[in-house]
Amino acid sequence: MLDITLQQLQFAWEHVRDNEGCPGVDSVSVETYSHQTETGLPELLQQAQASTYRPLPLRKIVVEKKPASGKTRLLLVPCVRDRILQTAVARLLSRSWEEEFLDASYAYRPERGVDRAVARILQLRDRGWQFVLDADIADYFDKISHSLLLKLVERANLDAEPLQLLRLWIRAEFWDGYKVERLRRGVPQGSPISPLLSNYFLKPFDEELEKGGNRLIRYGDDFLILCQTHEAAEAARLQVRRLLSASALQLNEEKTRVTDFDTGFEFLGVRFRSGEAMIPWKRKKRLGRPLFMARPMTPKQLRSYREPPLDVARSINSLSINSPSSDPAMCGADTRVCRAETRLGAFPRAPRVSRLALPTNSISHSHYGLLAEPRLLRSGNDSLGVPPVPVSHGQPSTNSLFPKPGRAGLLASARPFLVALSSMRRFFESFEKWMLEGQVSFRHRLRQEVEQFGSFLRKGPAWQPFAFDEGPEPAA
């Protein structure tokens, strides 16, 4: 059972409420959910403990990293309900994983941060570590391999319930305003569980670098390797390339260089040069514009997504299927395996399907018309979704409502219509997507929602001495 109490879930809700943030695909804001906590939190806890919890798709948002920079950041935002459970699970796992993390990692950990990282850098500088490999991982959060991350998580000796939740959140689905797609790689920026997973994925990387005798300072995907000679720093660069390649990652060569304290460098917004550590004066900075925000899912689409996969009885009502023991048509080539997809309202493709084995010569006219809709029935190698004409190996079923020759003629005459219908649907799907991407009337409202995520780093032309809380002195 998931070791989370209702009180811990309440603490997670308070954390989500303080962070605010925009609504997810269900359009439920933090303020709206605050009126539902009395019933929503116990229901969420019951679903998580009974293994019936299913997250909603993440909401796709694209914003500028900096104004007029041309660089964008992809945000995939969970709904408020999912953010609460992710926060509670992240706190639960961090208590056990915190002991496994090395002291060289300073991001997304309790009682750590920029102050402690800067204090450690200055301490190592005073002890003679003058040469620095200033490095960055290219698109780290978007390039994390799901298979490698799941292998690491599965070796962490977790209980079945939290492990299943992590699988759901790692292999998440996101909504782009048009359809639901599977996240193929990376951890979503905007999810509370992502910082913990990103740190855990680099745990083997930290351990290997610490074995080399150099000193590592890592904050997320930015890190320094402090060395005593220039040659050791160059060797560390080669080692970093090899380790990142083994994790399906790449070094950002544009942001990676070997330097020293006399030349100076900037790390975590702090400028190091000789015996000084300076930070810029902070001033209000214009935020990057929101470039795209997926529209919320409609209530019909939400209901369809939350439903479990339909079984045969629910997908095809009152369909007469003879027993295999009483109908010879259930044996041999007359049995066709039909794959009926349940579409989610306007979704062109649905991730949930139900498989059904039925004899094609025991389906009525109305049922046959339902199954023969393009892309709702796929059989054999027929790309149009039209079932092949069955080949008889015996007498037709007694409950067949039309003879075989008539059915074959019906299929032959309906094929051109089905081809045209499939082409028309593809055209209208493309047209709908084009219209959605071209909408500008919602830009002002979308900008207001995205601005709730907070500001980016503020930098100015002037610099001031850096004051920090050193905390306890790190071990040598």
Which tens digit of pLDDT belongs to each residue from 395-408?
Answer: 444 444 444 445 55
Report d(CA 116, CA 470) in Å as an integer. 6
* pLDDT for the residue 436: 63
Residue spans of alpha helices (H) in 265-323: 299-306, 312-315
DSSP-assigned beta bridge partners for residue 315:
none
145-153: long-range contacts at Cβ-Cβ below 8 A with a sequence spacing of 24 or more? 145/185, 145/247, 145/248, 146/170, 146/171, 146/183, 146/184, 146/185, 148/201, 148/247, 148/248, 149/187, 149/197, 149/200, 149/201, 152/200, 152/201, 152/203, 152/204, 153/197, 153/200
Confidence check: pLDDT of 234 > 70: yes
Q: In this structure, what DSSP letter does residue 227 have?
A: E
154 SS3 class:
helix
Phi first, then psi: what are they for 134, rounded to 5°?
-95, 110
* pLDDT for the residue 239: 94
Confidence check: pLDDT of 313 > 90: no
Residue 36: how many CA atoms within 13 Å on its side-chain side?
A: 12
**Average pLDDT of the chain?**
75
DSSP-assigned beta bridge partners for residue 281:
none
- Hey, which bits of 186-221 come out as E strands? 215-219
The amino acid at residue 168 is L
- Mean pLDDT check: name the lowest of 49-53, 96-100, 370-374, 440-444: 370-374
278-307 average pLDDT score: 80
Question: What is the total residue count of the chain?
Answer: 476
- C-beta separation of 51 from 149 below 8 A: no
Residue that is written with structure tokens 């082409």 in the block: 423
Report d(CA 427, CA 416) in Å as an integer. 17
Confidence check: pLDDT of 261 > 70: yes
Pull the structure tokens for residue 455.
């500001």
Q: How far apart are the first and last CA of the chain?
A: 41
* pLDDT for the residue 276: 82
* pLDDT for the residue 453: 45
Report d(CA 172, CA 189) in Å as an integer. 12
Q: Which residue has the higher pLDDT, 176 or 450?
A: 176
* pLDDT for the residue 475: 55
309 SS3 class:
coil
* pLDDT for the residue 200: 94
Q: Other CB atoms closer than 10 Å to residue 34's CB: what's the count?
A: 12
Report d(CA 59, CA 80) in Å as an integer. 11
Report d(CA 411, CA 418) in Å as an integer. 10
* pLDDT for the residue 91: 93
* pLDDT for the residue 173: 94
Q: Which residue has the higher pLDDT, 181 or 336?
A: 181
Residue that is written with structure tokens 């160059």 in the block: 234
| pLDDT tens digits for range 333-362 | 333 333 333 333 333 333 433 333 333 333
- C-beta separation of 119 from 270 below 8 A: no
Report d(CA 84, CA 62) in Å as an integer. 23
Q: Which helix (H) or strand (E) holds 259?
A: strand 257-260
Confidence tier at 201 by pLDDT (50, 70, 90): very high
Confidence tier at 79 by pLDDT (50, 70, 90): very high
Report d(CA 323, CA 233) in Å as an integer. 74
99 SS3 class:
coil
54-82 average pLDDT score: 89
| pLDDT tens digits for range 146-158 | 999 999 999 988 8
* pLDDT for the residue 211: 87
Q: Other CB atoms closer than 10 Å to residue 237's CB: what's the count?
A: 17
Report d(CA 295, CA 27) in Å as an integer. 9
DSSP-assigned beta bridge partners for residue 338:
356
* pLDDT for the residue 463: 46
Max CA distance (Å), the chain: 94
Which is nearest to 222 in space by CA: 238, 202, 207, 236? 202
- C-beta separation of 304 from 297 below 8 A: no
Report d(CA 460, CA 476) in Å as an integer. 35
Q: Which residue has the higher pLDDT, 475 or 190?
A: 190
- Hey, which bits of 274-387 come out as E strands? 276-280, 290-293, 335-341, 353-359
Alpha-carbon separation of residue 9 from 16, 86, 392, 446 (angstroms) = 11, 10, 61, 30
Residue 281 makes CB contacts below 8 A (sequence gap 6+) with: 460, 462, 463, 464
